[in-house]
C-alpha cells in the first residue's frame, strides 16, 4: 500500500481536571476497542526536570519513559515527545486506536493543533472527549486559584486559574463523558448543558464512546469556535435554576464606567465570555473571559469593519460569517456580545449594570472624535508598560 493510501492512526484526546473520571473513560475505551493503547504524560514529575511517559493497554503498562523539560515547561516537553510516540505507533501498524490521556490541566486545543500540524506523519485527531464528574463542575468553575497554587501549573509562567482552565476543557470538546455520580443533581447537569450546549453527552461507561472516539474532528472549526471574534457562544437558556444570559448591543462601552464595574460583572456569574468594544478604542476587538471571579480582557486584533476591503479576502470564512451575523449599518461588526452562565443568575441586576456602562444618549451623539477624549481606563490593563 502506498504512503498516501495507508489508513491514518485515529487519535482520540481525553482530557479534564477530574482525574478519576478521566481514567474511567480511558479504561472503558481500552476495554471496548481491540488493539487500542493509551498514552499519558505525567506532568507531576516536572519538579524533577522530567516528564514521565506511560503507554498502556487493557492489560496494563506496556512501557514507560522520561523526557526532559523543554524551556522549563512541562507542556513543551509533552509536545516534543508526543509526535515521535504517535509516529512510532502509526508506523507499527498494530494499533487500532490511540487514546491520548492528557494530564489534569493540559488543554486539548493545543494538543489537537500539534497533532494536526503533523498529520502527514500517519495519525490524526478523530475526536476530543472531556471526562466530567457532574458534582465537581461548579466547584471547579468557581475556583479562582492559580494553577500553581493547586499544584497543577505546567510551567513557572503559567498564569491560568483552575476555573478558566476547566471552562475551556468543557467548552472545546464535542463529547462530554459523565461519570455516574449519585450526588449529582439537576442543577449540575443543567450547568454542563449550558456551558456547552452543542456537545454530545454520554455516560462514561457507555459503549457509544468507542464509536464517538473515531467520529471525526475538525481542528480548524474547533479553533474558530473558541476564538473571541467568532466564538460559537451559547444561546439564552433557563433550566433547574441555571441561567444563560446573552447580552448583545451595538452601542460602545464608556471605558471608565465599564472598568469600575469589572469586579461586579465578573463575579456575577460562574462563567462569562464574549467580545466587546470601547468608545475610546473603536477599532479594537476585545475579548472577555471570566471564571471563578477572575477576568481576562485581551486585545484580539481589529474589527473587520476597520479593515480595508482588500484585506477581507485574507480573513477566514468563520470570521466573515460571524461578522455578518453581528453587522450594523453604522458600526459594522463592532458589538457587545457577552454571555453569562450561572446558577442563581440575577438577570435583571446584571442587565441593568451592563446597560449603565454603555454611552449615554448625549455621549453617543457627541461622536467618535469626542469619544477619543474619554478617560482611557483600560490602558493599564491592555497596554502594560
Residues 190 and 283 in one domain: no
First vs last C-alpha separation in the chain? 58
Residues 217 and 358 in one domain: no
Is the pLDDT assigned to residue 132 strictly greater than 50?
yes
Residues 244 and 168 in one domain: no
Residues 151 and 66 in one domain: yes
Per-residue model confidence (pLDDT) at position 3: 46
User: Each residue of 34-75: pLDDT tens digit?
Assistant: 999 999 999 887 767 788 999 999 999 999 998 887 777 777
pLDDT band at 174 (very low <50, low <70, confident <90, very high): very high
Residue pair 269/218 in contact (Cβ under 8 Å)? The answer is no
Residue pair 20/204 in contact (Cβ under 8 Å)? The answer is no
Domains in the chain, number: 2
User: Each residue of 198-207: pLDDT tens digit?
Assistant: 999 999 999 9
In a domain, 3, yes or no: no
Per-residue model confidence (pLDDT) at position 2: 41
Per-residue model confidence (pLDDT) at position 111: 94
Q: Which three cell numbers stand for residue 251?
A: 452601542
Higher local confidence (pLDDT), 76 or 303: 303
Residues 248 and 352 in one domain: yes
Q: Which of 226, 254, 284 is the last residue in one of the domains?
A: 226
Residues 254 and 355 in one domain: yes
pLDDT band at 6 (very low <50, low <70, confident <90, very high): low
Per-residue model confidence (pLDDT) at position 50: 81
pLDDT band at 313 (very low <50, low <70, confident <90, very high): confident
Is the pLDDT assigned to residue 1 strictly greater than 70?
no
In terms of average pLDDT, the best of 15-29, 45-59, 298-312, 320-334 is 15-29
Q: How far apart are CA 80 and CA 87, in angstroms?
A: 12
Per-residue model confidence (pLDDT) at position 177: 98
In a domain, 308, yes or no: yes
Category of 72 on φ-ψ map: left (φ > 0), alpha (ψ -120 to 50) or beta: left
Per-residue model confidence (pLDDT) at position 384: 67
User: Comparing 16-20, 81-85, 240-244, which segment has the lowest mean pLDDT?
Assistant: 81-85
Residues 15 and 91 in one domain: yes
Residue pair 280/257 in contact (Cβ under 8 Å)? The answer is no
Is the pLDDT assigned to residue 232 strictly greater than 90?
no
Q: What is the pTM of this model?
A: 0.93
What domain range includes position 330? 237-382
User: Each residue of 150-162: pLDDT tens digit?
Assistant: 888 877 778 899 9
Q: How far apart are CA 133 and CA 225, in angstroms?
A: 24
Per-residue model confidence (pLDDT) at position 315: 87
Amino acid at each position: 500500500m502506498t504512503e498516501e493510501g495507508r489508513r491514518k492512526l485515529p487519535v482520540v484526546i481525553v482530557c479534564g481536571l477530574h482525574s478519576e473520571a478521566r481514567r474511567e473513560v480511558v479504561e472503558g475505551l481500552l476495554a471496548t476497542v481491540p488493539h487500542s493503547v493509551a498514552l499519558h504524560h505525567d506532568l507531576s514529575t516536572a519538579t524533577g526536570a522530567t516528564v514521565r511517559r506511560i503507554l498502556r493497554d487493557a492489560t496494563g503498562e506496556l512501557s514507560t519513559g522520561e523526557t526532559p523539560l523543554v524551556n522549563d515547561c512541562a507542556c513543551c516537553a509533552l509536545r516534543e515527545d508526543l509526535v515521535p510516540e504517535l509516529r512510532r505507533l502509526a508506523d507499527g501498524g498494530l494499533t487500532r486506536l490511540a487514546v491520548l490521556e492528557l494530564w489534569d490541566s493540559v488543554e486539548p486545543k493545543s494538543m489537537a493543533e500539534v497533532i494536526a500540524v503533523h498529520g502527514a506523519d500517519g495519525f490524526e485527531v478523530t475526536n476530543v472527549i472531556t471526562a466530567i464528574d457532574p458534582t465537581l463542575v461548579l466547584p471547579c468553575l468557581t475556583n479562582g486559584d492559580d494553577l500553581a497554587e493547586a499544584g497543577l501549573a505546567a510551567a513557572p509562567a503559567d498564569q491560568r486559574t483552575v476555573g478558566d482552565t476547566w471552562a475551556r476543557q468543557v467548552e472545546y470538546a464535542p463529547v462530554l463523558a459523565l461519570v455516574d455520580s449519585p450526588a449529582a443533581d439537576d442543577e449540575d447537569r443543567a450547568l454542563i448543558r449550558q456551558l456547552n450546549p452543542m456537545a454530545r453527552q454520554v455516560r462514561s461507561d457507555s459503549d457509544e464512546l468507542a464509536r464517538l472516539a473515531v467520529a471525526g474532528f475538525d481542528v480548524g472549526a474547533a479553533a474558530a469556535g473558541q476564538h473571541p471574534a467568532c466564538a460559537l457562544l451559547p444561546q439564552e437558556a433557563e433550566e433547574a435554576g441555571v441561567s444563560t444570559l446573552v447580552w448583545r448591543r451595538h452601542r460602545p462601552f464608556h471605558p471608565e464606567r465599564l472598568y469600575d464595574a469589572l469586579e461586579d460583572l465578573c463575579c456575577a456569574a460562574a462563567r462569562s465570555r464574549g467580545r466587546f468594544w470601547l468608545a475610546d478604542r473603536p477599532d479594537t476587538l476585545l475579548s472577555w473571559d471570566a471564571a471563578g471571579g477572575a477576568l481576562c480582557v485581551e486585545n484580539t486584533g481589529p474589527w473587520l469593519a476597520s479593515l480595508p476591503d482588500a484585506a477581507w479576502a485574507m480573513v477566514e470564512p468563520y470570521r466573515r460569517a460571524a461578522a455578518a451575523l453581528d453587522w450594523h449599518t453604522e458600526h459594522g461588526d463592532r458589538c457587545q456580545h457577552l454571555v453569562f452562565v450561572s446558577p442563581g443568575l440575577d438577570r435583571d441586576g446584571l442587565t441593568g449594570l451592563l446597560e449603565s456602562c454603555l454611552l449615554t444618549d448625549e455621549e453617543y451623539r457627541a461622536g467618535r472624535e469626542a469619544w477619543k477624549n474619554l478617560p482611557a481606563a483600560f490602558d493599564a490593563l491592555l497596554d502594560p508598560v
